[in-house]
Amino acid sequence: MATPPELPGLRYTRLLGSGGFSDVYLYEQDLPRRLVAVKVLASEDLSDASQAAFVAEANLMAQLSAHPYIVTIYNAAVAADGRPYFVMEYCSGPSLAEQYKRAPIGVADALRTGVRVTSAVATAHAAGILHRDIKPANVLTNNYGWPALTDFGISSAVDIELPVNTTTRDAMNAAGAATGTGTIGMSIPWSPPEMFDDHPQPDVRSDVFSLAATLYTLLVGHTPFEVPGKPNGTVDLIGRIERGTITPITRTDIPRSLVAILHKGMAASADDRFATAVDFARALQRVEMELSYAPTAIDVPNLTILERVHDAETADAGDATRIRGVATIHAQPAAPLPPVAGPQGADPTVIRRMPSVQPHADVSPWSENPEHTVVRPRAQGEPEPEPAAAPRRRLWPIVAGAASVLVIGSVVAAAVVFAPTGTDARPTPTASSDIITLGVPTPAAVAVTPSTDGSQVTFEWENPEPQDGDRFIWNRSDGPNEGAKTPTEHGLTTIEGVDSNTQVCVEVVIVRTSGKLSTEPLEMCSK
């Protein structure tokens, strides 16, 4: 380990980690009093080129430090011994690499983390920066369990041509067989195939590939092109990456829709991937809605964004992309509300942008859902319930706000806030009212029709009080065969491949464009 430098106003505590070109130390800052991480360029690598790259990384991180899911840089300077350094936020929690190596991460946590990290990457892209080294080890967590993207050391501008690779694949295999990290300044297991070309030309879709590969790793516990029990050296991994041979996911609690999203994100051809990081985040939000989780907000920079997004994936949702301000002040944490276990609207897309003005200090800085304010999200270490088999006749969740209810005598006054007219049909939150969704009827059963051979059953229902934009969500509900919640505009579904001697049941609710849904589901059974 290199000797930590003497730095003004900072007291050395311990080594946090070492890389190929720098060391990271923990220091205690005198004023303001706090722990900080200090990245110091290694003394043996003080060439003009390495110093320029080090300064460039500091400048890149300074551009992006306002984002809640990117490590904040405080200042940069040159130590008395000539080594450049920069002081940044100390993230005390484990990196995502440490977490997935302990155990695969739950679906709910992985989705929430995926959307947040993707919003950080989208912010870098909006600033014209490709990260080029997204992987679990480069996503830290802070005291509140928030992910924090770091290590922009090999980042590049979106529109520049990268240098030619001069390293052979045999050399990469010899250098990186043990760790999967080659000698061309990137992490092989999470890298897209275009990075292995002699003249690599990555774009934002290359970072999307690495995001999908990282999310796969969190869920499965190993990298997406690693085959347990077989050779997994660098050349082996590169061959599978170029062929698009993703190792199948065997976890039974991961919905097929999420598996399809990960496969699209890691498509061998960049043209087959999501076009932008925001598109990838929106796809993850839709899975959250499918599983009845509140969609995690996408935090994006203060850019000009169309209020309504017209694309094939959201046009039939009948709702607009909403843009909400995100404060940059740090308020005292409030007790977080439980996640809303129901769709928050026909289109789950929730995008926040970072304003250029500071709000008043009494404004809550982090708004996770348009229905209520959450100052601090659930810490990463707290358990998040996975979707469980639902009881046969359950009440569907009621969306409630996080504000206080005024009690006068024995009368409790709870305000119902209705969505405004216009392109955004979301309810508008108030500072002193609960938001309660009531009044959506239960679907009415029409018919249950088994096929002649008993191999399939058709269920038909109707909306007794239809309104414009109404949709249905149905799922199979017969014990262990309970399936994912599936949105549809039609009052009809057919279950195939059933045993004629087995009872088949479905549950159905109505979803309004405002996000309200039936308080009581309709249950229909074949026997």
User: How high is the pLDDT of residue 359?
Assistant: 35
Alpha helices by DSSP H, 204-309 = 204-220, 234-243, 256-265, 277-290
CB distance 389 to 482 below 8 Å: yes
Domain 10-89 has CATH 2.60.40.10: no
Whole-angstrom CA distances from 198 to 73, 243, 266, 294 are 34, 17, 21, 44
Answer whether residue 341 shows pLDDT above 90. Answer: no
Tell me the three state secondary structure of residue 446. strand
CA angle, 238 as apex, 176 and 151 as ends, to 5°? 60
For residue 235, give the amino acid letter: V
Where along the chain do the CATH 3.30.200.20 domains lie?
Answer: 10-89
Sign of CA dihedral 133, 137, 141, 147: positive
Query: What is residue 197's predicted lDDT score, i.e. its pLDDT?
Result: 87
- Cα 38 to its chain centre, rounded Å, is 28
* One-letter amino acid of 295: P
Q: At what angle do helices 277-290 and 204-220 cross, to 10 degrees?
A: 30
Q: Rounded to whole angstroms, how far apart are CA atoms 186 and 196?
A: 10
Q: What is the mean pLDDT of residues 381-394?
A: 45
- Tell me: the pLDDT tens digits for 398-446? 333 333 333 334 333 333 333 333 433 333 333 333 333 346 888 999 9
* Chain mean pLDDT for the chain: 73
Helix (H, G, I), strand (E, B) or coil at 288: helix
pLDDT of 503 strictly over 80: yes
Classify 292 in phi/psi space as left (phi over 0), alpha (psi -120 to 50) or beta: left
Q: Which helix (H) or strand (E) holds 122?
A: helix 107-126
CB 136 within 8 A of CB 220: no
Q: Residue 204: phi, psi to the nearest 5?
A: -60, -30
**The tokens 């940069």 sit on which residue?**
76
Q: How many CB atoms lie within 10 A of CB 228?
A: 8
Question: Which H or E element spans position 28?
Answer: strand 22-29
- Specify the DSSP element, H or E, that contains 325: strand 322-325
Tokens of 460: 């038909």
| DSSP helix/strand/coil, 383 | coil
Q: Can you give the pLDDT at residue 111?
A: 97
Q: Say which DSSP state 370 is in.
A: T
Please report the pLDDT score of residue 338 as a whole number: 42
3-state secondary structure of 269: coil
Whether the predicted pLDDT of 219 surpasses 70? yes
| More confident position, 388 or 61 | 61
**Of the listed ranges 139-153, 214-228, 325-339, 388-402, the one predicted with least confidence:** 325-339
Q: Report whether pLDDT(38) > 60.
A: yes
CA distances from 502 to 223, 388, 456 (A): 40, 22, 11
pLDDT of residue 154: 53
Residue 230 pLDDT level (bands cut at 50, 70, 90):
very high
Cite the residue boundaries of each domain of the chain with CATH code 2.60.40.10: 444-525
Choice between 177 and 71, residue whose per-residue pLDDT is larger: 71
Q: Please identify which residue in the block is written with the tokens 């994100």.
A: 265
- Of residues 139 and 197, more confidence is placed in 139
DSSP state of 168: -
The residues carrying an active-site annotation are 132
- For the CA atoms of the chain, what is the radius of gyration? 25
- Residue 156 half-sphere exposure, CB side, CA atoms within 13 Å? 18
To the question of pTM greater than 0.85 for the whole model, the response is no
What is the per-residue pLDDT for 387?
47
Report how far residue 481's alpha carbon sits from residue 420's, in angstroms, rounded to the nearest whole number.
40
Cα 33 to Cα 45: distance, rounded to the nearest angstrom: 31
Tell me what pLDDT residue 396 has. Answer: 41
Task: Determine which of 55-59, 118-122, 327-331 has the lowest per-residue pLDDT on average.
Answer: 327-331
Q: The CATH number of 444-525 is which of 3.40.1260.10, 3.40.50.12780, 2.60.40.10, 3.40.50.2000?
A: 2.60.40.10
- State how far the Cα of 72 lies from the Cα of 331, in Å rounded to an integer: 17
CA dihedral 488, 313, 146, 127 (to 10 degrees): -170
Residue from 149, 146, 145, 143 nearest 34 by CA = 143
CA distance 137 to 287: 25
Give 88 or 356, the one with higher predicted confidence. Answer: 88
Mean pLDDT of the 31-58 span: 81
Amino acid 289: pLDDT:
95
Describe the crossing of helices 169-176 and 234-243 by its angle, rounded to 10 degrees. Answer: 120
Instruction: Please say whether the beta carbons of 510 and 441 come within 8 A.
Output: yes
Q: Where are the beta strands (DSSP E) in 151-228?
A: 156-157
DSSP three-state, residue 327: coil
CA dihedral 64→280→224→147, nearest 10 degrees, is 40
Question: How many CB atoms sit inside 10 A of residue 108's CB?
Answer: 19
DSSP string, 332-356: PP-PPPPPP-S-SSSS--EEEE--S
Task: Kindly report the three-state secondary structure assignment for every residue of 389-411.
Answer: CCCCCCCCCCCCCCCCCEEECCE
User: d(Cα 368, Cα 298) in Å, to the nearest integer?
Assistant: 9
Token representation of residue 137: 């080890």
Listed in order, the ranges of the chain carrying CATH 1.10.510.10 are 96-294
- The confidence score (pLDDT) of residue 171 equals 43
Other beta carbons within 10 angstroms of residue 174's beta carbon come to: 14
| CB contact at 8 A, 402 and 337 | yes
CATH number of 96-294: 1.10.510.10
What's the mean pLDDT in 508-518?
Answer: 81
